[in-house]
Amino acid sequence: MTAMAFDKTGTLTTGRLYVTKLTPAEDVEPAELLAVAASAEQMSKHPAARALQEVAKEANLSLPAMDNFQETPGKGVTALVDSAKVMVGRDSFLKENDVDISSVSDPALHEEQGFSTLYVAKGTKCIGWIGLRDKTRPEAQKAVSELLDIGIKRLTMLTGDREEVANRVAAELGCTDFKAHCFPQDKLSIVEQIKSDGHTVVVVGDGINDAPALAAGDLGIAMGAAGSDVAINSASIALMSDDLSRLPFLVRLSRKTRAVINQNLAFGIMFIILGVAAGAGGWLVTTLAAILHFAGSLIVVFNSARLVRYGEELGHEP
């Protein structure tokens, strides 16, 4: 493996979003904006939906009834809230549905540019946007650094977030490059492009949006603890922990395993050649040959068994 492509939300970051900004349109109350968005997102499992539910609960808001929920992966959700059509998602998602977002301020104009943005529309009118922030995993920076140290040449972060958010997270972690505004099909094409550049690509993700890319990579790794069933089934490997420090260990373990296999093959071939030669020369009796053959098998087994204790130190880390 020479390159890795990471999903951002839930993989490099905790996947736990926090609402940090409410920017309603003119004549719209912040509480109304939050209540409409949280109601529409009630059936979604996306981290942004959970963040909206939590802050609405903390604000003691009474959420209106919701019906006809539809989720478009990588774009947003649509639902009927109090008989009005509500859309929550990317700015492009609203534009595709003929919603004008020029009535609200541009998030890029604000000083705090490190948040993800959800636009909210009611009917054909955009009633504001909500800013959310995510935190990188504590071990992510160290894991990225270790991957570079052990010879991974390219570490690409893929995200549907804005350029400012992607740039901040990629710089914080030390990724070699990033791609923002990625839809599921974009992630797939980027992985194919990296492969066409001559890399052996490992794709790491956890969500439904990552499934096509996981399947397209030379190797797919699903973050098992928080991963969706679709992502896990699309991947070659499912990590039972969402600890990113396991990735450098996985690379080192795979290389160590390959080295042990080569040692066993080399030993086995040489052992048989020498044994056959000794037998043909009359230097090896049948009984001793059988004993040596059994001993050679034991050597291969015990050489392989050394891998059982490989990485024991990870279990003792604080």
Q: Are residues 203 and 58 in the same domain?
A: no
Q: Are residues 222 and 253 in the same domain?
A: no
Domain final residue, candidates 221, 242, 263: 242
Q: What per-residue confidence (pLDDT) applies to 44?
A: 87
Q: What are phi and psi of 277, to 5 degrees?
A: -65, -45
CB-CB contact of 146 with 63 (8 Å): no
Contacts of 16 (CB under 8 A, 6+ apart): 47, 50, 51, 134, 135
What is the distance between the alpha carbons of residues 112 and 205, in angstroms, rounded to a whole number? 27
- Give the β-pairing of 201-205 and 3-7: parallel
pLDDT in tens, 107-150: 765 545 567 889 999 988 899 999 888 888 889 999 999 999 99
Domain final residue, candidates 82, 114, 133: 133
Q: Are residues 37 and 125 in the same domain?
A: yes
Q: Are residues 45 and 99 in the same domain?
A: yes
Q: Are residues 117 and 188 in the same domain?
A: no
Name the residue with tokens 């926090």: 18
Assigned token pair, 53: 């539910």
* C-alpha closest to that of 144 among 170, 178, 181: 170
CA 291 to chain centre: 51
Q: What per-residue confidence (pLDDT) applies to 258?
A: 95
* C-alpha closest to that of 81 among 128, 34, 117: 34
Q: Can you give the length of the chain in residues?
A: 318
Q: What per-residue confidence (pLDDT) applies to 203?
A: 93
Q: Are residues 214 and 274 in the same domain?
A: no
Contacts of 27 (CB under 8 A, 6+ apart): none
Q: Which residue segment(s) compose the domain that 256 sits in? A: 248-316
Q: Are residues 215 and 275 in the same domain?
A: no
CB-CB contact of 44 with 12 (8 Å): no
Q: What per-residue confidence (pLDDT) applies to 284?
A: 83
Bridge partners (DSSP) listed for residue 78: 70, 87
Q: Are residues 212 and 72 in the same domain?
A: no
Does residue 9 sit in helix, strand or coil? helix
CB-CB contact of 178 with 5 (8 Å): no
Q: Are residues 120 and 176 in the same domain?
A: no
CATH number at residue 127: 3.40.1110.10
CB-CB contact of 221 with 239 (8 Å): yes
Domain final residue, candidates 133, 158, 174: 133
CATH number at residue 231: 3.40.50.1000
Q: Are residues 171 and 200 in the same domain?
A: yes
Q: Are residues 24 and 120 in the same domain?
A: yes
Annotation marks residue 7 as catalytic:
yes
Q: With 0.85 as the threshold, say if the pTM is over it.
A: no
Q: Which residues, given as ranges, of the chain have pLDDT below 70? A: 108-114, 207-208, 224-228, 230-231, 312-318
Catalytic residue among 7, 91, 242, 243: 7
Does residue 175 sit in helix, strand or coil? coil
Q: Are residues 205 and 283 in the same domain?
A: no
Q: What per-residue confidence (pLDDT) applies to 10?
A: 78
Q: What per-residue confidence (pLDDT) applies to 248?
A: 92
Q: What per-residue confidence (pLDDT) applies to 115?
A: 75
Q: What per-residue confidence (pLDDT) applies to 104?
A: 84
What is the tally of structural domains in the chain?
3
CB-CB contact of 264 with 300 (8 Å): yes
